[in-house]
Amino acid sequence: MQKRLLFVTGTRADFGKIEPLALAARDAGHDVSFFVTGMHMLDRYGLTKIEVHRTPGVTVHEFLNQRIGDPQDMVLAKTVMGFSDFVIEHRPDLVVVHGDRVEALACALVCATNYIRCAHIEGGEVSGTIDELFRHCNTKLAYCHFVSSQAAARRVMALGEPAEAIYAIGSPELDFHANSSGVTLEQVKTRYDIPFDEYGIVTFHPVTSESDTMGAQAKALFAALETSGRDFVVILPNNDPGSEAILQVIRDLPKDRFRAIPSMRFAHFSELMKHAACIIGNSSAGVREAPFLGIPSLDIGTRQNRRSDAPSITSCTAANSDTISRFLSEDWGKRYPQDAAFGAGDAAHRFTAVLGDPSFWTRSLQKEFQDHG
């Protein structure tokens, strides 16, 4: 029962999420191809289409859908036109879209109007931005839903989707961490020049709507860390508004105790994380990967609000030096039981199991709104 699966990817971030699913589907014998568009195609964002092309055993279709500066709705319109021509020509059995970007929405719209099955990955999550609206539209347009958590599944049901079309397979990213990274901790330390035996990992990104206080927040946070006398690997922030103020604080830290690294290969970062004494900051790694790996994490500020409530997570503001220092003394190096709220690291396996069930392919494309309560 080989099927023609088409995975849509617009950014390195969503590629990281759908790659495990695509590889597993390929290995299960399906005909897998990628529709590569969005930021992947733009020089300014690193021309990351190259990473998709490196995947063996799949077909890659490129579509340039924008120029720098295009408004979102124009990108939507161009993607709709291009993807519509594409599916008319290629007729996939299933289109897989991820998340909440305009490219995913455009492709889900095309699938709905052309009666092509569309699977949506990581629906039901909240972020409080315009992208969140697109995510929920994707839920309404999709044929089925592969969600990361029970909370997400509940939200997809609230949106009226039938329970039998919702599969809580967990977050596909965790699949990486569930497996051996392929590198040793020694190799990681050598490559990135990390001298510590015991270390915490810090990643502190700017929050767009708080960009003018990011400097103060960073100052407070890193002051508390410095006071602790511990050693830290610091991953530098992305370049959203507010990052410059954070970078300035990091530059002034003592270099022998704060090792700053611009970015790491994924396998190396995974290995480093597995041995960390704790994870600190406001990246999703702290609320999703850390609980999964049982590592204590300190979640700073509002960025990951409402994303998780695992017991291994301590939440506070950057200014709350008491909570920070208590966390660093009490939780440092501790290990918690694995938290499976975002899955058991077997999302890809669960995904292909669903595809392998013949009844998956025969449900009506006409969905009926499910009222609850």
The residues of the shown chain that bind its own copies, judged by CB under 8 A, are 41-43, 61-68, 71-74, 76-78, 80-82, 84-86, 88-89, 102, 109-110, 112-114, 126, 128-130, 132-133, 136-137, 140-141, 154-155, 158-160, 366-369, 371-373
Show the CA angle centred on residue 351, arms to residues 349 and 352, nearest 5°. 70
Least spacing, CB of residue 85 vs its own copies, in Å:
5
H/E segment holding residue 194: none
* Amino acid symbol at 329: S
Least spacing, CB of residue 137 vs its own copies, in Å:
4
What is the CB neighbour count within 10 angstroms for residue 51? 16
What tokens appear for 357 in the block? Answer: 């069930």
Distance between CA 93 and CA 5 in Å, rounded?
A: 6
Least spacing, CB of residue 19 vs its own copies, in Å:
22
**Residue nearer to its own copies on the CB measure, 77 or 183:** 77
**Residue nearer to its own copies on the CB measure, 76 or 273:** 76
Least spacing, CB of residue 50 vs its own copies, in Å:
12
| 55 HSE (CA, 13 A, CB side) | 26
3-state helix, strand, coil in the chain (%, to 5): 45, 15, 40
**Residue nearer to its own copies on the CB measure, 177 or 307:** 307
Least spacing, CB of residue 94 vs its own copies, in Å:
18
**Residue nearer to its own copies on the CB measure, 213 or 325:** 213
Least spacing, CB of residue 167 vs its own copies, in Å:
20
**Residue nearer to its own copies on the CB measure, 123 or 296:** 123
**Residue nearer to its own copies on the CB measure, 193 or 371:** 371
Distance between CA 7 and CA 335 in Å, rounded?
A: 37
Q: What one-character DSSP code corresponds to residue 339?
A: P
**Residue nearer to its own copies on the CB measure, 63 or 258:** 63
Least spacing, CB of residue 373 vs its own copies, in Å:
5
Distance between CA 298 and CA 281 in Å, rounded?
A: 6
Name 62's bridge partners.
36
**Torsion angle, alpha carbons of 16, 17, 21, 27, to 10:** 10
Please classify residue 82 by burial: count the beta carbons closer than 10 Å to its beta carbon, then call 0-12 exposed, 13-18 middle and 19+ buried: middle
Least spacing, CB of residue 287 vs its own copies, in Å:
17
Least spacing, CB of residue 208 vs its own copies, in Å:
11
**Residue nearer to its own copies on the CB measure, 41 or 250:** 41
**Residue nearer to its own copies on the CB measure, 141 or 278:** 141
Distance between CA 160 and CA 179 in Å, rounded?
A: 35
What is the CB neighbour count within 10 angstroms for residue 346? 18
Least spacing, CB of residue 82 vs its own copies, in Å:
7
**Torsion angle, alpha carbons of 319, 341, 365, 141, to 10:** 0
Distance between CA 183 and CA 181 in Å, rounded?
A: 6
- Which residue's structure tokens are 């039938």? 162
- Which residue's structure tokens are 């480093």? 272
CB 214 within 8 A of CB 242: yes
**Residue nearer to its own copies on the CB measure, 86 or 176:** 86
